[in-house]
Structure 1
């Protein structure tokens, strides 16, 4: 069975690239372009991995991470912040909000899948 991934990302180019890379590796991908839809989809489909952008139009990724952790999702759901926020303390802020991992944009297309899978395996 394919591993299911929810991407919460408002930038169409980033969404296209992430979903392309994941589908190429045979992941089942669901897309949300804002936090509200992302939260709703996460609760309804219960994906194994959730990739969350930090800068979204309706709520930031930190708030989404916190709300996802409060939702009725399996404890093994892996939440990864994928963000261009790369200032000192941002990784810690994402983890404190509920993310299991943190990946910086622009993503490296050659290492993205392996990095994501490593965070997922550590969370299982």
Structure 2
């Protein structure tokens, strides 16, 4: 269960945090500091999953997602929106706009890794939230 993860983020501290989280995993980290560079790196690297910051100058995460989804090679690639302004209602809106899920900042390491595993692991859902364990049977 390995693959490339592209993180498109203009904030270097946020970029470094995700890089550190992924360092001890089987995933290869690729970073891009802008939306345009992120699209270019996605086309070059063909990542298994894309983490995409919403608030970026020049081209925001929603526009980047739209441009990626317009490319045939990224119609099925999981794209997770990252934002400091995340609510349950917004999650559904982001999914309607082409994202597979939404992750709130500051990023919780365990939630991030579970979400990544859900999307690019063997039993990956296409969109929605992290699978919750079934209640114990009585």
> What TM-score do you get using the length of structure 1 for normalisation?
0.89
The structure 1 segments of at least 4 consecutive aligned residues displaced by more than 3 Å after TM superposition are none
3-state SS in 1 of match to 2:67:
helix
Q: CA RMSD in A?
A: 1.9
8 Å CA contact retained: 1:48, 1:76:
no
What residue is the counterpart of 1:100 in the other structure?
A: 100
**How many residues are treated as equivalent by the alignment?**
124
Relative to structure 1, the CA distance from residue 108 to residue 44 in structure 2 (aligned partners, 3 Å threshold; closer, same or farther) is same
Distance in 2 (CA, whole Å) between partners of 1:68 and 1:75 is 8
What residue is the counterpart of 1:35 in the other structure?
A: 35
What residue is the counterpart of 1:72 in the other structure?
A: 72
Q: How do residues 1-124 of structure 1 correspond to structure 2 at under 5 angstroms?
A: 2-87=2-87, 89-120=89-120, 121-123=124-126
8 Å CA contact retained: 1:43, 1:71:
no
8 Å CA contact retained: 2:2, 2:27:
yes
The range that moved more, 72-81 or 6-15, is: 72-81
Please tell me whether Structure 1 or Structure 2 has the larger radius of gyration of its CA atoms.
2
> What TM-score do you get using the length of structure 2 for normalisation?
0.80
Distance in 2 (CA, whole Å) between partners of 1:18 and 1:74 is 22
